Structure 1
């Protein structure tokens, strides 16, 4: 495994905890977020779905953006966002306004994580047109400039340049969109896959005139060994996310990965 050119300019390791809003009532989700923040986690994520993705398919579940606004008010240090927002569910300018509002509620801690959507049940039951993966990606690509333009027009403006996180690994469209618009790129890649995808992303960055080192590389830790995480780190990954699900939200793995983060950042 070779090191990515990205790794030479990458910043400190950060850990994000994705608190899936499923199989638990809000008081449990709220208490879990408080624990996650107290542990020193860098970012708290939810996800943008309307039904559980695992377990009882009609189990307890809550909506993403309204949760994030509450999280913004109840926290003080941790960044927050969706991993990831489904672009299809809301008008682009509305998304920009919601993001700006949560940015202000949080005091400038909001991360705009977004993607093109994939969970067909959400679309069918809530009355959205599912289309194809291609049409959904095309819509995301067309609307990201609208979102960025709306941030320029809003009064008051966002408190900071809201970081844009884009999830997905498609090489023909998604990584091109990442190269143009993302501050953070998230995938679920193994070390071998990440090495390949970074090569593709680097080519897209060259095409659009972007420096790959400007994009923070993010990947999921669930199911990974420390050795695999070390390989992902050597390739340039610096944001590592860990999925947590109700009803219990076991934080023991998060504690272990935070210790790993601290050991990496101590070097």
Structure 2
């Protein structure tokens, strides 16, 4: 018996709103992502925008899964070799830094979850390439979403693209089902074999959020109990969207005016599907 929830029309409507609002936080903060700002100031600006402008609740604040201490901030700021769950604080962003901002808002009980990479000043060619390949990995994974396909299809295409570029896929963290609950079934692995794991059905909503390392895939956990870094101190990148399985394919829910467009090859394949 599957424990994966199938969302109702009302749920989907609520998730569209929450998804758009989460993406709009990333739009709002973009002009501030410059040399000299601290991650704590980024958190403060996002927190105030969520609460005072949007009327949303920052889901990470005081979030406390079993075995963890409550997460102390409104967003996650993962800089350079931080893979995920970096806690905002005194760190000053400098020229060449790369940072992932992970935003989850709650609106009328529904969660919108998305993340984006930002380049501070002029990043290295290597950093830009890692960000681009990771972005393509996310979209390739999303492109496999349709009823009747399997969750393993998503992980397989992500792993293939990352490893072909000489990168590695983090395995300890994955995408997840989402709705009125922040993290629910299914788990969305970013590696795997096609035709394996659960079959996708219309009405499922989950995140696709590959974490790709420039070096090896091994991780290390910091003493704060949250921050995860690459063991070999190589750069890491992540992008995330929340996606609905529709009757004919997929709908990305975390869309906003300022979001980066899908890669050209995704547009082409979507047109081909529409034309076939």
TM-score under structure 2 length normalisation: 0.31
Kindly indicate which of the two structures has a greater share of residues assigned to helix. Answer: 1
Q: Which has the higher contact order (CA 8 A, sep 6+)?
A: 1
TM-score, normalised with respect to structure 1: 0.32
